[in-house]
Amino acid sequence: MKTMKITSMLLLLGLFLTLSTNVYAQDPMTAAPNAYKKVLLENEKVRVMQIEIAPGEVVPWHSHPDHVIYALTDGKLEITEKDKAATVAEIKAGEAMFMPAVTHTGKNIGETTLKLIVTELKQGKASKMDKM
């Protein structure tokens, strides 16, 4: 009986820890289907996503591995990273930005729909080209 109680408590604790980290570490396609419109390409190296954020729209908490953002339109985005104060990014069409892995939320505080292409870099086996 005592072993069963300890096992149940450990399972409950594990479930709690898993759920609490997932609140902040959700896949953007699942956490924000309103903004993350579709996956344009996915393979063992990258995932490329099309994003559209309407004025005033909030993108819920989600996480990315290292990624590259390419802006299709100008815009103004308020970004809040986990455990940090919000910052405002003035985004210009044609800009490309490298971003390290992050957990964040965002809000379009501009007056136009912000359109982006996000390319997430996946960790994987090095190719022959990577070794050169």
Tell me the β-bridge partners of 115.
52
pLDDT in tens, the chain (132 residues): 555 555 444 444 444 444 444 444 699 999 999 999 999 999 999 999 999 999 999 999 999 999 999 999 999 999 999 899 999 999 999 999 999 999 999 999 999 999 999 999 998 755 555 555
Q: Which two tokens stand for residue 65?
A: 């591995």
Q: How far apart are the first and last CA of the chain?
A: 60
Protein fold of 28-121: Jelly Rolls (2.60.120)
The answer to whether the beta carbons of residues 97 and 67 sit under 8 Å apart is: no
